[in-house]
Amino acid sequence: MNLFGRRRSKPRGAPASKDPAQTIVSLRGTLDTLEKRQAHLDKQIAKQVAEAKAKMAKKDKRGALFCLKKKKMYEAEIEKLNGARLTLESQIIALEGTVTNADTVAAMKSGATAMKHARADVDADAVGDLMDDIQEEMATADEISAAISAPGGDLLGDDELLDELNELEEHELESQLLDAPPIPVAPLPDAPLSMPAVPTQPPAAPAKQEDADLAALRELEAAMAM
Each residue's pLDDT tens digit, 195-204: 555 556 655 5
3-state DSSP assignment of residue 120:
coil
Compute the distance between CA of residue 25 and CA of residue 96 in angstroms, rounded to an integer. 11
Looking at residue 186, what is its pLDDT?
Answer: 59
Provide the domain limits for residue 51. 20-118
Task: Answer whether 42's CB lies under 8 Å from 77's CB.
Answer: no
Residue 210 lies inside a defined structural domain of this protein: no
* Contact partners, residue 98, CB within 8 Å, separation at least 6: 20
C-beta atoms surrounding 65 within 10 Å: 12
Residue 45 lies inside a defined structural domain of this protein: yes
**8-state DSSP, 119:** T
Residue 4 has pLDDT above 50, yes or no: no
- pLDDT tens digit sequence for 57-77: 999 999 999 999 999 999 999
Task: Answer whether 20's CB lies under 8 Å from 97's CB.
Answer: no
Residue 157 lies inside a defined structural domain of this protein: no
Compute the distance between CA of residue 29 and CA of residue 35 in angstroms, rounded to an integer. 10
Rounded alpha-carbon distances, angstroms, from residue 62 to 6, 54, 68: 55, 12, 10
Residue 12 has pLDDT above 80, yes or no: no
Residue 138 has pLDDT above 50, yes or no: yes
Residue 134 lies inside a defined structural domain of this protein: no
DSSP H or E segment with residue 2:
none
Compute the distance between CA of residue 44 and CA of residue 34 in angstroms, rounded to an integer. 15
Q: Provide the number of structural domains found in the chain.
A: 1
The average pLDDT across 167-173 equals 81
Compute the distance between CA of residue 71 and CA of residue 52 in angstroms, rounded to an integer. 10
Rounded alpha-carbon distances, angstroms, from residue 206 to 89, 203, 211, 214: 157, 9, 12, 17
Residue 17 pLDDT grade (very low, low, confident, very high; cuts 50, 70, 90): low
Please state, for a pLDDT cut of 70, what percent of the chain lies above it: 67
Please state, for a pLDDT cut of 90, what percent of the chain lies above it: 38
- pLDDT tens digit sequence for 156-168: 566 777 777 788 8
Residue 110 has pLDDT above 50, yes or no: yes
Residue 192 lies inside a defined structural domain of this protein: no
Residue 88 lies inside a defined structural domain of this protein: yes
Question: Among 71-75, 86-90, 128-132, 185-189, which is the least confidently predicted range?
Answer: 185-189
**pTM to 2 decimal places:** 0.46
Residue 1 pLDDT grade (very low, low, confident, very high; cuts 50, 70, 90): very low
Residue 92 has pLDDT above 90, yes or no: yes
Residue 11 has pLDDT above 60, yes or no: no
Domain with residue 37: its CATH number is: 1.10.287.1060
Looking at residue 221, what is its pLDDT?
Answer: 62
Residue 214 lies inside a defined structural domain of this protein: no
Task: Answer whether 73's CB lies under 8 Å from 81's CB.
Answer: no
